[in-house]
Chains A and B, each alone.
Chain A
Amino acid sequence: MATPTTLPATFVAGNVLTAAQMNNLRGAFRVLQVVSTTKTDTFSATVAIGTTTALTGFTVTITPSSTSSKILITYDALLIWGNTNYGMKAILTRGGTAIAGATGDAAGNRTRISSLGQNGTQSFTFLDSPSTTSATTYGLIIGHTNTNAADSNVVYLNRYGTDTDSAQNGWRSASTITAMEISA
C-alpha cells in the first residue's frame, strides 16, 4: 500500500500530526467496504469440451470509493464435474471478462485459469486494481478438463452429479465470493 502523500516519509521524535494528516492516516491501510455473495442453491449446466460458461448467480458487485482503491477478491466455490474426478477450471472475471492478471501466464494454447481442482471446494484470492468508481461486478466462468465426447459434460455448483439422499451423495453446500475495497 502507498503511504498517503501528506504524511511525513518518516516520523521522528517530537512530530505532531495535524488533523488533516490524522484523517489521512485514518483512511490508510484499511478495508473501506466488504461485499459478499453466498450462493446456497445449486447451479448446473452443460459445458461443451474446451468451452466455459458463466456461473450465474455467483457474482459480487462493488462500487469503489476511489479510483486508487484496490479490490481484494476471494472465492470459495464447490465445483463438481459429473460423477467423477475430472478437473474443474475456474476463471475470475470482472464485468464478465476474464482478468488476465488473475490467471496463469499465456503458454501456447493452454487455457489460462485462476484455479483448478477435482471435485471439491476451490479457493482463490486476487488483489485487483479496477481504477474506477463505477459499480464493478466480479464472478466466475467455469469449465472442465474432460475430453471424452461421450460424457454428459455437466458441471455443478453446490451439489454432486448423482444428487440423492444417500449418505454418499446426499449433501448440498454453499459457495461464497467476497470483494473488499482496500484504501490505497
Chain B
Amino acid sequence: MSTDYPAVLIANYPSAQWALEGDSYDGLTWLSDTPKPTQAELDAAWPAVAYANQCATVEAARLYAYEQTSDPIFFKWQRGDATEAEWRAAVAKVKLDNPYPPAP
C-alpha cells in the first residue's frame, strides 16, 4: 500500500502548511517554516498512520453497530425486558463483525 502523504502529514505534522499535487512525494510543496520532511521519513511513518486510521474506521463502524443493535438491548435489559447475557452477546457480535486489523 503506497503512502498516503496527506494522511501522514495530518497525523504527524498537524501544524504544518503544505500542498500536494497528485499522490507522490514529488508533488509536495512545503509552506511551513519548519523543515520539510523527507520522503523516507513519511514513508516510514505510513504503516503506523494507516493502522491508526483503520482502527478509527473500525471504531466508527462499531459505534454505529452498537447504536443499531446492542444499545436497544441494553435499555431493554434496564427495563427488565432482556437479559444482561443477551446484551453482552450483542456487543460481542458487533466486535466479531468489526474486527481490528492486525497491527503493523
- Judged by a CB distance under 8 angstroms, whether A101 is at the interface is no
A46:B21 contact, CB within 8 angstroms: no
Cβ contacts under 8 Å, B54 to chain A: 164
Contacts A152-B10, A163-B4 hold; do A41 and B19 have CB atoms under 8 A apart?
A: no
A43:B21 contact, CB within 8 angstroms: yes
Complex alpha-carbon distance, A166 and B4, angstroms: 14
A166 to chain B minimum Cβ distance, whole angstroms, is 8
Contacts A43-B19, A56-B19 hold; do A154 and B10 have CB atoms under 8 A apart?
A: yes
A57:B21 contact, CB within 8 angstroms: yes
Q: Which of B1-41 contact A (CB under 8 A)?
A: 4-7, 9-10, 14, 16-23, 31
Interface mask (A27-70 → B, CB under 8 Å = 1, otherwise 0): 00000000000000111111010000100110000000000000
Complex alpha-carbon distance, A56 and B31, angstroms: 14
B17:A43 contact, CB within 8 angstroms: no
A25 to chain B minimum Cβ distance, whole angstroms, is 45
B49 to chain A minimum Cβ distance, whole angstroms, is 11
B7:A163 contact, CB within 8 angstroms: yes
Interface size range on A against B: 10 to 19
B16 to chain A minimum Cβ distance, whole angstroms, is 7
Q: Which of A61-108 contact B (CB under 8 A)?
A: none
Interface mask (A149-175 → B, CB under 8 Å = 1, otherwise 0): 000101010000111101000000000
Contacts A45-B18, A46-B17, A46-B18 hold; do A156 and B23 have CB atoms under 8 A apart?
A: no
Size of interface on B: residues with Cβ below 8 Å to A: 19
- Judged by a CB distance under 8 angstroms, whether B78 is at the interface is no
In this complex, what residue of B is CB-closest to A46? B17
- Judged by a CB distance under 8 angstroms, whether B57 is at the interface is yes
Contact of B19 among A44, A152, A161, A164 (CB under 8 A): A44
Cβ contacts under 8 Å, A156 to chain B: 6
Interface mask (A112-144 → B, CB under 8 Å = 1, otherwise 0): 000000000000000000000000000000000
Contacts A162-B53, A162-B57 hold; do A46 and B7 have CB atoms under 8 A apart?
A: no
Q: List 25 A-B contacts (CB under 8 A).
A: A41-B22, A42-B20, A42-B22, A42-B23, A43-B19, A43-B21, A43-B22, A44-B5, A44-B6, A44-B19, A44-B20, A45-B18, A45-B20, A46-B17, A46-B19, A46-B31, A56-B21, A152-B14, A154-B9, A154-B10, A156-B6, A161-B6, A162-B53, A162-B57, A166-B57
- Contacts from A to B (Cβ < 8 Å): 41-46, 48, 53, 56-57, 152, 154, 156, 161-164, 166
Known: A43-B22, A152-B14, A163-B4. 19 other contacts (CB 8 A): A41-B22, A41-B23, A42-B22, A43-B19, A44-B19, A45-B18, A45-B19, A45-B20, A46-B9, A46-B17, A46-B18, A46-B19, A53-B19, A56-B21, A152-B10, A161-B6, A162-B7, A164-B53, A164-B54
